[in-house]
Amino acid sequence: MQITTTAVTQHCGRRTGAQHFSQASTLNTTSGSHKSGVEPHSVPATTITRADGDLVTFMPPRPRRIVVGITGATGTIYAIRMLEIMRQLGIETHLIISKWALATLKYETNLTEAQIRGLAHATYTAKDLSAPIASGSFQHDGVVIVPCSMKTLAAVRIGFCDDLISRAADVSLKEGRKVLLVVRETPLSDIHLENMLALRRAGATIFPPVPAFYTQPKSLDEMVNQSVGRMLDSMGIFLDNFHRWNGFERSKKDKIPGGTPKEP
């Protein structure tokens, strides 16, 4: 699976192997601000004149909108890749980064906080419970916590929303919207498993980022892409160039990722 991104940029993977992003735009963000260098999408209303001469104004449907929370668990590259893809697809993203997520990002990648925030249309600090996404009246299409620490998992499970990440997930559950929790821990205790089961029953999708080896990945980058593609599937976002399983009888060299296999 090859994904061309439109934003960030550097060698990512100081301790995890070679990961490369191409420079495609200049990011202009203020670290910690509520808005990044890209304003949330705004589509103007359309006014038409009816046959009787009256004017009627139609509001167009809002663009797709996803809330992304990054916690301090390992696996921040999944969040980066997801933000890059959604930015390329024109999906409006609202990003929350916890204090420990920033520490993990610094350790696992060479990207700055400003570059990470620059991938989203709007960003928030984890302690800002006055943010629009803390309310159920703010319309969006779901919340992804990637990676999701066991602390955040427990907080969402019991409704103890002392930060914006857990609050956004809690609100999404009560509003009946999608919640995807990319849980990162191993091995798992009884407590972890019980929390996951309770949240699954409450409507959340539990997604351990387990790589698929039927794609015969050649690099860590390909493994990340495959996992992120499946995460996006869970959110109803389907990539045309995603390498999907086509059956044992298909020759790997004849597969067209995401498309119809060539006839032998």
pLDDT digits 0-9 by tens, 20-32: 333 333 233 333 4
**pLDDT above 90 for 45:** no
| Token output for 247 | 């059956």
For the annotated binding site for FMN, the residues are 72-74, 98, 149-152, 184
pLDDT, residue 241, reads: 82
Task: Evaluate whether 6 touches 88 at the Cβ level (below 8 Å).
Answer: yes
Q: Is the Cβ–Cβ distance between 36 and 120 less than 8 Å?
A: yes
Specify whether the CB–CB gap between 19 and 114 falls below 8 A: no
Q: What is the pLDDT of residues 78-92, one digit of tens each?
A: 999 999 999 999 999
Annotation: binding site: 72-74, 98, 149-152, 184, 214, 230
Region 147-176: mean pLDDT is: 98
Q: Which residues are annotated as a binding site for dimethylallyl phosphate?
A: 214, 230
Full-model pTM? 0.76
Strand partners, 179: 143
45 or 190, greater pLDDT: 190
The whole-angstrom separation of Cα 167 and Cα 188 is: 24
Residue 2 confidence (pLDDT): 42
> Do residues 246 and 255 touch, judged by C-beta distance below 8 A?
yes
Report the share of the chain in percent with pLDDT over 70: 76
How far is residue 206's CA from residue 196's CA, in Å, rounded to a whole number? 7
Give kind and range of the element (H or E) at residue 147. strand 143-148
pLDDT at 210 over 50: yes
Mean pLDDT of the chain: 82
- Give residue-wise pLDDT tens across range 99-124: 999 999 999 999 999 999 999 999 99
Question: 5 near 24, Cβ under 8 Å?
Answer: yes
The neighbouring-strand residues paired with 55 are: 49
Q: Which domains does the chain have, with CATH numbers?
A: 64-254 (3.40.50.1950)
